[in-house]
Amino acid sequence: MTLTCGASSVSADVMQNGIDIMHSPLRNTVQVAANGVVVGSPPTVYETMISITFRLSGQAEQEAFREFIVNTCGVRGNVVTLTPDSGVDLSEGDTEPVDARVWSGYNEPMRGFNLWYVDVTFRKEVT
């Protein structure tokens, strides 16, 4: 899978069965805008959370991936384009790219010598 944020990009392997996609409706939150108008989200709008477990081999790959996620993208910061490998559907169709934001923290337990499984949750951009 390739992740792109602005002019930077990084590629990483995804664990087998390492993608979890959750759709949930946005709650009908009611807010009052600055001009006094009451605004509510429509019940047909869903948010999509995509949790991915990446498999990183080697210290250099792990450090480059961490630098990209934490410093280049930032949690809830810049939009990241996720381009999956062939045969992977991230809710837009097979190998179709998805725009999302890094939504969760960055968990990177070391699983073996020079082997990390990194869990990252993305929130798909609502269009």
Does residue 30 form part of some domain?
A: no
- Which range of residues forms the domain containing residue 70? 2-25+42-124
Does residue 7 form part of some domain?
A: yes
d(CA 84, CA 89): 7
- Looking at the structure of the chain, the number of domains it has is 1
pTM: 0.80
Does residue 32 form part of some domain?
A: no
**Beta strands at 46-57 and 38-40: parallel, antiparallel or unpaired:** unpaired
16 has a pLDDT exceeding 70: yes
Average pLDDT, the chain: 86
pLDDT tens sequence across 84-116: 988 888 988 888 999 999 988 677 777 888 898
Does residue 35 form part of some domain?
A: no
Residue 6 Rama label (left phi>0; alpha psi -120 to 50; beta): left
Mean pLDDT comparison of 33-47, 78-92, 105-119, highest-scoring range: 78-92
Does residue 94 form part of some domain?
A: yes
| Residues forming beta bridges with residue 57, ordered by sequence position | 115
